[in-house]
Amino acid sequence: MTKPILIMKTGSSLPDLVARRGDFEDWIINGSGQPPSRFMVVDVEKSQSLPAVTEVEAVIITGSHAMVTDHEAWSEKAAQWLAEAVRCNLPVLGICYGHQLLAYALGGEVAYNPNGREYGSTEIRLSHKARADRLFKVITPHPTGFVSHAQTVLRLPEHAVHLAFSEKDTNQAFCFNHTAWGVQFHPEFDADITRSYIESSREALKNEGGDPDLLLAGCQDTPLGAQVLHRFIEIIGHPDAL
């Protein structure tokens, strides 16, 4: 029997958005192109127990409205599990909070972004090493991704490979041990979801000198999310392929 892909659920989206569009795990499953039956969802924020690393085929870590630096008990346990998963060469994809949690689990540093909140649609600028990376090698040049975060990875784990950055974030993506990836941008978001996040943070963005209306106008759907999720699924099926 095929092992499931674990979705480590680290929080829920905006209540109104969940009622209208579903939650983080739904968007990931829809974006992956895979049937829901292939996935196992474990809500670690609600203290649901994680399976043994050997019982799953891969793990995708969702975003969250929590902060890694709060060191919540459930988050610390999830970080320990992720460190073991990476040691066991389990394919891992961390998204936003999941990206930060993965970096923290591997010895990196997470904190509030000194450049302020990053919301909306932004150019994801690939490093020269991205073209040799087996996940990012399929990404089209000068991709645009959706972002919605206040914290960031200030320092990557030792031996991590830096893959991407943006105007406001130095570490948009990294790879560790050829099997684990973190992406600060949201491959599961679309323009509609991103607009909801901009609206929800309108006042905070204005207080930092941002222009929510300009961010809203700049939200256009992009192929980047599907490229990342579909390629990760391919890697799961062929773990030794480069």
> Which residues are known to be catalytic?
96, 186, 188
Residue (of 57, 56, 53, 82) closest to 68 by Cα position: 82
Q: Transcribe 59-110 into DSSP letters.
A: EEE---SS-GGG--HHHHHHHHHHHHHHHTT--EEEETHHHHHHHHHTT-EE
CA atoms within 13 A on the CB side of 51: 17
Q: Which of 9, 45, 6, 26 is nearest to 189 (CA)?
A: 26
Residue 145, phi then psi, degrees to nearest 5: -130, 165
CB 49 within 8 A of CB 55: no
Among 42, 50, 7, 20, residue whose Cα is nearest residue 236: 7
Torsion-angle region of 185 (φ positive above 0: left; ψ -120 to 50: alpha; else: beta): beta
Residue 114's alpha-carbon distances to 142, 170, 174, 220, in angstroms, are 24, 11, 19, 26
> How many residues are given for the chain?
242
DSSP 144: E
Q: What are phi and psi for residue 87, nearest 5 degrees?
A: -60, -30
